[in-house]
């Protein structure tokens, strides 16, 4: 078998490139599509508060841990653990992450395909003059049709593969740097339109006025899963990206910036969606379709709505793309570094397998919705297993590894760039990754499983 030449590993070329790529990975459908739909089903403001707590107390430490493992290991998630602790079972965490990448991308590409359809409808002015109920119907017709969602999904996977194939510097970094800032400006404009709709106040209350009686063990687990998912952590995406970060760049600052940007976009997405949801009389617990029926309605209420809608869906496609490439990159880095196959072949094989699983996810949201596995559709099963089980489990072992196995000296060395940076937070960080984060994740898990009751 051909061996991968590690001296030829690709890397990010600049600080701003890293932040753009990592933020590009974090910011995506998780913020715009998943957060509103999951928050809508899990109590709105109360969910948001728990989510924010988890981002700070668990998300940022896990993110820093992933960067540390990646940059120190200089490998894909499996290879990094294996190199740092040879002959020990830690590399299984890497394998679990790679499995999660397959699952996540399979269901993510379903939704990404939907965004392409919505971009196409924006171009062809397909939303014009439609009432909220007509928009709802239009969405379900599209979903039930079966063929178009699958075609768009394949197109999306093809786009993802093409960028990944081009490599880190010329592919991922180049696109992320230009497009993410434009996206931010656009959401801001949509927020302004949404909160000035008549009846918007109720939506803002839903998002910001907590009703703590809505909190259940499941809501807490959902918030944890969503925080990890949104930050792209728990499965090795940021181990992989971390391995492309140069030894001179600052890991802590990168992690703070990425987490801050991602959280900002999540809150903005909430502000954009919920006022409109209530103004249009849509059920906030509507589910996966929520933003697809809400957003076109907002555009109907905007002067120049045709262009706003066009721009928005274009950028949403791109935001999704900068996330899907980061997921595919995990698998491709693993295949090419560990199996010694060329990057091109690794990309083709990974894309083909994921697309096939993904097609079943897409169909399970439409024509095959009655086919259930363990009482759930294929889509929900993969979504739940990866986001609420694999990511928290991955996050748990990642912090345990950094806290207890890698050794404080090594961690400090990595986070301070061998003492060049001060890294004053190191003691606090160690307490969090050794005790606070793992205990919190374990409690949430056991609580949800009913093994621990409060």
- Site for ligand PHE, rule CB under 6 A: 25-26, 28-31, 104, 229-230, 232, 235, 237, 323, 326-327
Instruction: Give the position of tokens 């759930």.
Output: 376
Shortest Å distance, C-beta 265 to ligand PHE: 9
Side-chain-side CA neighbours of residue 127 (13 Å): 31
For ligand PHE, the closer of residues 31 and 136 by Cβ is 31
For ligand PHE, the closer of residues 109 and 136 by Cβ is 109
Shortest Å distance, C-beta 389 to ligand PHE: 14
Instruction: State whether the Cα torsion 237-241-247-253 is positive or negative.
Output: negative
Shortest Å distance, C-beta 327 to ligand PHE: 5
For ligand PHE, the closer of residues 21 and 271 by Cβ is 21
Q: Cα(263)–Cα(227) distance, rounded to whole angstroms?
A: 9
Q: In 10 A of CB 393, how many CB atoms?
A: 18
Shortest Å distance, C-beta 397 to ligand PHE: 16
Q: In 10 A of CB 443, how many CB atoms?
A: 14
For ligand PHE, the closer of residues 323 and 336 by Cβ is 323
For ligand PHE, the closer of residues 67 and 229 by Cβ is 229
For ligand PHE, the closer of residues 326 and 448 by Cβ is 326
For ligand PHE, the closer of residues 28 and 296 by Cβ is 28
Shortest Å distance, C-beta 335 to ligand PHE: 17
Which residue(s) pair with 376 in the sheet?
373
* Region label for 423, one of left (φ > 0), alpha (ψ between -120 and 50) or beta (otherwise): left
Q: Cα(178)–Cα(172) distance, rounded to whole angstroms?
A: 11
Chain residue at closest Cβ approach to ligand PHE: 30
348 three-class SS: helix
Shortest Å distance, C-beta 319 to ligand PHE: 7
Instruction: Give the position of tokens 């404009």.
Output: 189
Phi and psi, residue 373, nearest 5°: -120, 125
Per-residue DSSP letter, 4:
P
CA distances from 59 to 181, 232, 238, 261, 398 (A): 23, 9, 12, 13, 12
For ligand PHE, the closer of residues 108 and 280 by Cβ is 108
Shortest Å distance, C-beta 28 to ligand PHE: 3
Q: Cα(83)–Cα(61) distance, rounded to whole angstroms?
A: 22
Shortest Å distance, C-beta 176 to ligand PHE: 13
């Amino acid at each position: 078998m051909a061996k991968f030449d590690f001296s030829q590993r690709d890397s990010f070329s600049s600080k701003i490139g890293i932040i753009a790529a990592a933020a590009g990975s974090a910011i995506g459908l998780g913020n715009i599509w998943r957060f509103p739909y999951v928050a809508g089903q899990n109590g709105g403001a109360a969910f948001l508060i728990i989510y924010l707590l988890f981002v700070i107390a668990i998300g940022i430490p896990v993110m820093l841990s992933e960067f540390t493992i990646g940059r120190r290991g200089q490998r894909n998630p499996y290879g990094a653990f294996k190199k740092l602790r040879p002959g020990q079972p830690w590399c299984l965490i890497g394998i679990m992450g790679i499995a999660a990448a397959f699952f996540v991308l399979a269901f993510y590409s379903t939704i990404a395909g939907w965004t392409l359809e919505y971009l196409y409808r924006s171009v062809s002015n397909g939303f014009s003059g439609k009432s909220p109920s007509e928009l709802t119907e239009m969405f379900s017709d599209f979903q039930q049709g079966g063929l178009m969602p699958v075609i768009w999904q394949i197109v999306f996977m093809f786009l993802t593969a093409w960028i990944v194939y081009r490599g880190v510097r010329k592919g991922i970094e180049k696109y992320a740097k230009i497009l993410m800032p434009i996206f931010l400006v656009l959401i801001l404009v949509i927020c302004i339109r949404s909160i000035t709709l008549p009846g918007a106040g109720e939506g803002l209350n839903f998002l910001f006025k907590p009703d703590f009686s809505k909190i259940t063990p499941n809501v807490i687990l959902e918030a944890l899963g969503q925080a990890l998912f949104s930050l792209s952590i728990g499965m090795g995406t940021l181990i992989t990206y971390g391995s492309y970060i140069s030894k001179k760049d600052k890991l802590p600052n990168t992690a703070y910036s990425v987490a801050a940007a991602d959280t900002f976009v999540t809150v903005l997405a909430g502000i954009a969606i919920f006022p409109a949801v209530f103004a249009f009389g849509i059920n906030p617990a509507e589910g996966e379709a929520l933003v697809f029926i809400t957003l076109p309605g907002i555009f109907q209420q905007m002067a120049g709505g045709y262009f706003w809608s066009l721009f928005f869906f274009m950028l949403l496609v791109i935001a999704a793309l900068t996330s899907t490439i980061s997921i595919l990159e995990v698998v491709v880095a693993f295949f090419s570094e560990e199996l010694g196959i060329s990057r091109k072949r690794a990309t083709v094989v990974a894309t083909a397998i994921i697309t096939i699983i993904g097609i079943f996810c897409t169909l399970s949201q439409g024509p095959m919705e009655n086919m259930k596995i363990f009482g759930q559709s294929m889509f929900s099963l993969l979504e739940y297993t990866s986001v609420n089980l694999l990511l928290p489990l991955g996050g748990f072992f990642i912090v345990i590894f950094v806290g207890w196995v890698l050794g404080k000296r090594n961690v400090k060395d990595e986070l301070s760039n061998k003492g060049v940076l001060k890294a004053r937070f190191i003691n606090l960080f160690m307490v969090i990754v050794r005790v606070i984060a793992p205990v919190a994740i374990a409690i949430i898990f056991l609580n949800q499983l009913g093994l621990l009751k409060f």
